[in-house]
Amino acid sequence: MKKYDIAVIGGGAGGLTAAIGAVQFGAKTALIEKDPEPGGDCLHYGCVPSKAYIKAAKELRDAKKAAEEFGLGLSGAPDFSVVKSRVQDAIAEIQPHDDRKRLRSLGIDEYHGTASLKTKNEISIDTGETIYAKRIVIATGSSPMIPPIAGLEDISYLTNETIFSIDRVPLKLVVLGSGPVGIELAQAMSRFGSDVTVIDHSGLMEKEEPEIRELAHHLLSEEMTFMFNRKVTKAQKKAEKIGLTVEGDSGTTQEIECNALLIAAGRKPNVKEMGLEKAGVDVKDGKIVVNKKMQTSVSTIFACGDVTGEYPFTHAAGQEGKTVVANAVFGVKQSVDYTHTPYTIYTDPEVFHLGLTEKEARDEYGDNIHVYRSDARHVDRFTAERNKTGLVKIITDKKGAILGAHAIGTLAGDWMQEVVFAKQHGHKIKDFSSVIHPYPSHGEMVSKAADQYWQKRLFEGKVPKLTETYIKWLR
């Protein structure tokens, strides 16, 4: 039986970070991955292919808008095989960063197979091998959650794991779920030419600020149909179509038809048939329970990424993987902290989220907060590009420390990064006013929000009277 310092089960973002970090620090490391190549959901079925879809869809939308505005003729349907090729090319270019050959070159022993725990230190692989490790890291990710819908097993439906393999755009598409996965793909497919309807049991972007949520709903409604506070209770095959029974909160039902159904109703951690109970690993609500050190109920076993259900984003999994290395390899008792971890919903325009919302801040701090806003209509770059849709909202405590920052706008996930840096390193909102942004840039949205801090300090209250007196005295 081979013995290791660290054995990682799963080659997604969290698992790769843990494995590569461990081996680079000198730990004898093994990685077990069931798929042909590592990379996880993000590379093969999530972040990378979806962004390729989104980019291609935006180019088509922009081409149509430009043709109309400049009086050009544009006809015909897009060649969807080009879109599919783009997806595969993007995956192929990124794959070498994570492939088995590179892992071996780093000194990692990589195994191709499905793993399960035999004990708190032993892993059984379905190839017939068993390995021993002082520390085990579970990073098996998540998979699409399929809701209990009558007749669903009798139809062919899409998930994020299969939609990138389709050969043509469905004439009518129903998307079940309006979370980031569902809404991003819904907008992309609409721009490719599909008539899209989104159905959700709640509403759109309910974790976001009300004004951002409302603006996003208004803009997205121009490209697709929403059916909120509804659920699909039955599905059946109807010739070349799919028939769906949709039930509202009041119990009323209606029948709709589509050519394809995309299920994006959430994710479930991959914990089944892993032998967690044999090792004594606690699982609650289908998620592996971990402490802030990413340690499970068993001291020798850690977990990171979607399998914990904590923060289902690739960048968070990478952050957790680093925490695992610190604790599992060095025992430094480092804790993971999501306080400064942002996320972006990659619709067009993008929606950015960092920290507390205004409501959350008021619940925690009462009225001892300040809220600063800026609007894209007052930023020259947005005006010059004839796209004046966007806003920024920054929430601080009474001393100006950043509690939360939220935005919607073109590439908001990029130009809001300076706020992430500022929050993480303890800078206050006033500091943005002294940051020089190239003119004209989208980032002026942030500095204009910060300017309001000085406007309140310098032009309200006692300060204006004092400065007036001082100026008169100088004269």
Look up residue 119 and give its two tokens.
Answer: 């004990």
What one-character DSSP code corresponds to residue 179?
Answer: S
Map tokens 């309140």 to a residue: 456
Alpha helices in 282-374 (DSSP H): 314-330, 358-365
Report in angstroms the alpha-carbon separations of 351 from 12, 26, 100.
25, 41, 35
Q: Is 190 annotated as a binding residue?
A: no
Instruction: State how far the Cα of 429 lies from the Cα of 446, in Å rounded to an integer.
Output: 9
Which residues are CB-contacts of 71 (< 8 A; sequence separation ≥ 6)?
none
Q: Is 177 annotated as a binding residue?
A: yes
Beta-bridged to residue 372, according to DSSP, are: 394
Q: What is the helix, strand, coil percentage profile of the chain, to 5?
A: 40, 25, 35
Q: How far is CA 203 from the centre of its chain?
A: 18
Q: Is 183 annotated as a binding residue?
A: yes
Beta-bridged to residue 261, according to DSSP, are: 174
Instruction: State how far the Cα of 422 lies from the Cα of 347, in Å rounded to an integer.
Output: 25
Look up residue 48 and give its two tokens.
Answer: 């990378």
Phi–psi pair at 25, nearest 5 degrees: -90, 5
Q: Degrees (nearest 5) of the Cα angle 214, 220, 223?
A: 155
Q: Is 184 annotated as a binding residue?
A: yes
Q: What is the 3-state secondary structure (H, E, C) of 223-243?
A: CCEEEECEEEEEEEEECCEEE
Q: Is 131 annotated as a binding residue?
A: no
Task: DSSP for 103-164, please give it.
Answer: HHHHT-EEEES-EEESSSSEEEETTS-EEEEEEEEE---EEE-----BTGGGS--B-TTTGG
Report in angstroms the alpha-carbon separations of 444 from 208, 335, 375, 408, 425.
22, 35, 10, 14, 21
Contact between 47 and 87 under an 8 Å Cβ cutoff? The reply is: no
What one-character DSSP code corresponds to residue 265?
Answer: S
Q: Is 151 annotated as a binding residue?
A: no
Q: Is 349 annotated as a binding residue?
A: no
Instruction: State how far the Cα of 413 lies from the Cα of 348, in Å rounded to an integer.
Output: 11
Distance from the first to the final alpha carbon of the chain: 89
Contact between 346 and 413 under an 8 Å Cβ cutoff? The reply is: yes
Q: How many residues does the chain have?
A: 475
Q: Is 71 annotated as a binding residue?
A: no
Output the known binding site for NAD(+).
177-184, 266
Output the known binding site.
51, 140-142, 177-184, 266, 306
Output the known binding site for FAD.
51, 140-142, 306
